[in-house]
Amino acid sequence: MTRIEFLTEHQAAVALAEAWNRLDPSELIDLMADDVHYCSQRVLEELTTKKAVAEYLQERMRLTAIDVATKPYVKVFAELGNSAGNSQECDCVVIAQGTLENIVAIIFLKVEGSRIKRIDLRVPQF
């Protein structure tokens, strides 16, 4: 992948959505900082290195791909969203599973310079 001189939050969100739609995080991993942090309500401890986040995402997407192959009703949909947080709008990725209406996660990203510095996955409470 070509090194991006300045990565926007929107570009990072597109890369994350594409990774989940393809179930392949390789291009997303290329955009991560070495000290990227990954925080999720589904992961007990925050991951704090590119290696740890990459391994987690690779395994998570690999297992999801196996599920989708055997149970098509668990298909994952990732779409861009926009959320107003702290009176500022920010790009995010909305993850649904099975159907577009079944939202299972909202992912926010923080970008510094040319790298993704933080990924926060939140489970919506409806």
Backbone CA torsion sign across 45, 12, 35, 65:
positive
Indicate the pLDDT class of residue 97, thresholds 50, 70 and 90: very high
Query: CA separation (Å) from 119 to 40, 72, 74, 99?
Result: 8, 27, 23, 24
Q: What is the pLDDT of residue 6?
A: 83
pLDDT tens readout for residues 75-84: 999 999 887 6
Task: Write the pLDDT tens digit of every residue in 27-73.
Answer: 999 999 999 999 998 788 999 999 999 999 999 999 999 999 999 88
The answer for residues whose C-beta is within 8 angstroms of residue 79's C-beta and 6 or more apart is 17, 93, 94, 96, 100
- Mean pLDDT over residues 77-105, rounded? 84
| pTM greater than 0.85 (yes/no) | yes
